Structure 1
Amino acid sequence: MNVIKNYKLFYAISLAVIAVGLIMFAVNGLNYGIDFTGGTMLQLEVGKFVSVEQAREIVSVYDENASIIHSGPEKAELIIRSSKDLSNKDTTEIVSQFVEVYGMDGSNFQTQKFGPFMGKEIRDRAIFSVIIASVLMLAYISFRFQFKFGVAAVIALVHDVLVTFAVYSVLRLPVNSSFIAAILTIVGYSINDTIVIFDRIREESKIYPKLGFGEVINNSINLSLRRTLFTTLTTLMAVTILYIVGVEDVKVLALPLIIGMLSGTYSSLFIATPILYSLKRLKTNG
């Protein structure tokens, strides 16, 4: 695999995804979830298990993006959280349909309206956390390798965060507290593959000092490719299964992790290494 030869193609793919995401963000903004917007919570004691898909057939008429999870020892309760300020008429109609379709006791429900508990301060803290983590990673990688290795790794991390935001902007996926947690997890996970490949590049440079740096990078990627793909696929399988069979609250955490892992593997192989090569050439030419 000749990554260095085709680096313009890899750059173009990433830039296209990020550009589309930024355009969609500028036009429509992000689809902030209930954690940021506030809304309505409706808790129903249905008396028997009703799947999320069955419940959504009723709830989607009022809010197709509502969060629906089970509660109780036998999952006989449903907790519906909507980012919309549902009226008393809407909640009454929802309860009435559950009574009609599933024989629910019409008095066994609770409704609550609440404001956003995650606002600008928490968003700012999340951004600040990513910046601090990036600076510390830059310092660590610069100490363990060289400064240009650290710069390439941090640019790859920013790439992964932007790609994840782009996917959420384009698909209008809800941004909530789980998304923030997933972004912070992605930053830590993504750097792992990059460091492994950088370590291989350093070793290959010492073993074959007469080879050109581009060839050293390609050899290192090919030697690390199987390990990188197997590690990612193993983790991805576990997270994907959680997304498929997990409850709603697990799915909203698993989805950004899936996107981030795919982006992280891509950036470690096809973004970080070409950037490192470009930085090396700049230093040589300078």
Structure 2
Amino acid sequence: MLIKYWPKETKIPFMRYRYVGVVLSVLMMIASVYLVMTRGLNLGVDFAGGSVIELRQTEQVTVPEVRSRIQGSLTVNSATNANGELVVIRFGDLDPSLLGPEFQALSDEDKADRASAASNTYVVNALKQEFNLTDADILRNDSVGPKVSGELFREGMIALGVATIMMFLYIAFRYTWSYAVGGIAALVHDAVGTIGLFSLLQLEFDLTTIAALLTIIGYSVNDSVVVFDRIREIRRKYKQMPATEVIDIATNQTLSRTFLTGGTTIIAVLAIVIFGGPVLQGMSVAMIWGIVIGTYSSIYFAAAIVLMLGVDINRKPVEDTPGFEAMP
């Protein structure tokens, strides 16, 4: 039905407002960097290390009861998902005096390697003893040591960097360097904006968020390449047309595809938001936000940069088609 009511031809002068769009994009990226530097990221157990345990909240298992009956430096909060209220317990390496004589007899190197697992085992056993729980009552139990968490964070950042470089090389090979710069600028814009949102809302930043960022990178480049393809096609056909009109026509011709693709993707991701629970909350929020700003950046940021650097492809264009009327 949306296709039926979508105008057959739109003539929106996008490039007339390109400076406003670029300024807004730059301000958003500066604000995102500022937020990350001042507020930081709420790193999940994948990157920060330590343990996370989730229990279903009952009359006996409550946040105050867990805080009062389990020893150690625990952060205990409540959360909600599709299954109801949860008690979420987070902690790092506990005091060695709580972990028993066998742990204290280990060497310093072994203690560093085993502290996370020993702390997790201590808390799980204490919960089972104090609240008569079984393994089935523990909905989530994740534990990552500091060495592994550091490696995961480093490898996640490497994955983002490699993806960005490969995208740049692909666009530069398929078009020219100016298109590659525009596409990568939009990609960085979307990734930085998404990370800034996580810092602002203090959403958990973990491996699922990295997966969402990689998805956003691919989505952003795909959106930009669709517009670039149409720019190249129109530029070859009408080589005397002003570059601003070329980009306006290309953007308008791909507008319905852009909004339909983005809209249907958001509908699919909403299912993750509703039914995915707290574990997938960060990923779903990142993808929805990334789709929105990715659509915006492919129009106002990537295309504007290509316009500033030059839209011409170094290949022989065909002659102008007689009778063409440029957009007003």
Q: Provide TM-score, normalisation by structure 2.
A: 0.68
For the residue of structure 2 that corresponds to 1:211, the secondary structure is: coil
CA RMSD of aligned residues (A): 3.8
- C-alpha change, 1:181 and 1:150, in structure 2 (3 Å) is same
| 1:79-98 to 2 correspondences below 5 Å | 80-82=88-90
Alignment partner of 1:122 out of 138, 146, 152: 152
| 1:201-240 to 2 correspondences below 5 Å | 201-240=231-270
Q: How many residues align?
A: 262
Shift of 1:215: 0.6
> 1:223 corresponds to which letter in structure 2?
Q
Alignment partner of 2:132 out of 101, 107, 110: 107
CA distance in 1, matches of 2:158, 2:264: 31
Percentage of identical aligned residues = 30
Alignment partner of 1:266 out of 277, 285, 296: 296
- C-alpha change, 1:16 and 1:118, in structure 2 (3 Å) is farther
> 1:240 corresponds to which letter in structure 2?
L
Structure 2 contact 21–300 (Cα < 8 Å) conserved:
yes
Structure 2 contact 127–133 (Cα < 8 Å) conserved:
no
Alignment partner of 1:279 out of 295, 309, 312: 309
Q: Provide TM-score, normalisation by structure 1.
A: 0.77
> 1:245 corresponds to which letter in structure 2?
F
- C-alpha change, 1:133 and 1:76, in structure 2 (3 Å) is closer
- C-alpha change, 1:267 and 1:232, in structure 2 (3 Å) is same
**Residue 196 (structure 1) aligns with:** 226
Structure 1 contact 141–150 (Cα < 8 Å) conserved:
yes
Structure 2 contact 49–149 (Cα < 8 Å) conserved:
no
**Runs of 4 or more above 6 Å deviation:** 54-61, 66-70, 75-79, 84-88, 110-113
- C-alpha change, 1:255 and 1:109, in structure 2 (3 Å) is same
For structure 2, list consecutive stretches of 5 or more residues without a partner in the other structure: 1-11, 68-73, 99-122, 314-328
Structure 1 contact 183–256 (Cα < 8 Å) conserved:
yes
For the residue of structure 1 that corresponds to 2:53, the secondary structure is: strand
For structure 1, list consecutive stretches of 5 or more residues without a partner in the other structure: 48-53, 97-104
- The answer to whether structure 1 residue 37 and structure 2 residue 48 are counterparts is yes
Describe the superposition over 1:57-98 as per-residue Cα deviations: whole angstroms up to 9, x where unpaired: 99899544x77779xxxx79978452567999xx79x979xx
- C-alpha change, 1:137 and 1:43, in structure 2 (3 Å) is closer
